[in-house]
Amino acid sequence: MTEKTAPTEIAIDPLLAGRWSPRAISNKAVSRELLHSVLEAARWAPSSSNMQPWRFLTFDRHHDEAAFQKAFATLVPFNQGWNANVPVLICVLAKTLTPKGDVNRTAPYDAGAAAMSLTLQAHALGLAAHQMAGFDINAFREAFSLPDDVEVIAMISLGHHGDPALLNDILRERENAPRARAPIGEIAFDGAWDKAFK
């Protein structure tokens, strides 16, 4: 399954409506050109004062299997299960200090914007991208000797769409389930806290 369009309340751009988080990902290699393309999209995300605090550590098993396995080992067992054949992992990081050494409070927000740009570009290219929080941040930090001013935020699986039939029963059911979100009135307020947007 490569398409799973969101049942939106009002029309949104098809690129946004079509982006989802598949777990059925093929072991087919992702070309360096495609990987460069998703990173280029991330590079052009907006950021406060144009500080561009995002950083991405890429792990391409077809380019450097040892580095990939080191990153893969930090995933929680559940995520290791469905990522066993994924060709690329990308860790989303943020530099938390400004060039002057002050705390950049928007660094994680900006890194999130860059990660969203990356996943949208992946979707536009026909790739599957799945963002995850399920990994051992401290183990990852230690494994890759990260500087103290770098925050580890998320991991993204990237690859070509795979066959959902190869997933276990529970994940296959999730893969095929309709997409759902909280109604707009629960997440957007109009002029006052808890006054639902209508």
With beta carbons less than 8 A apart as the criterion, state whether 81 and 132 touch.
no
* Direct distance between the N- and C-terminal alpha carbons of the chain, in angstroms, rounded to an integer: 34
99 domain-assigned:
yes
With beta carbons less than 8 A apart as the criterion, state whether 110 and 47 touch.
yes
Average pLDDT, the chain: 96
Q: Name residue 29's amino acid.
A: A
197 domain-assigned:
no
* Structural domain of 136: 14-187
What's the pTM? Answer: 0.95
193 domain-assigned:
no
Q: Name residue 72's amino acid.
A: F
Count of structural domains within the chain: 1
Q: Quick check: 59 pLDDT over 90? A: yes
The confidence band for 179, taking pLDDT boundaries of 50, 70 and 90, is very high
Q: Quick check: 5 pLDDT over 70? A: yes
Mean pLDDT, residues 67-86: 97
Q: Quick check: 1 pLDDT over 90? A: no
8 domain-assigned:
no
2 domain-assigned:
no
Lowest mean pLDDT among 27-41, 43-57, 129-143, 163-177: 163-177
Q: Quick check: 26 pLDDT over 90? A: yes
Residues 104-155: tens digit of each pLDDT = 999 999 999 999 999 999 999 999 999 999 999 999 999 999 999 999 999 9
Residues 60-74: tens digit of each pLDDT = 999 999 999 999 999
What pLDDT does 112 receive? 98
What pLDDT does 2 receive? 79
What is the percent of the chain with per-residue pLDDT over 90, rounded to a whole number?
98
From CA 179, how far away is CA 18, in angstroms rounded?
10
Q: Is the dihedral of CA 181, 106, 21, 152 positive or negative?
A: negative
- Residue 12 burial by Cβ neighbours in a 10 Å radius (0-12, 13-18, 19+): exposed
106 domain-assigned:
yes
CATH of the domain at 62: 3.40.109.10
Q: Quick check: 55 pLDDT over 80? A: yes
107 domain-assigned:
yes
6 domain-assigned:
no
CA proximity to 142, closest of 71, 41, 68, 66: 71
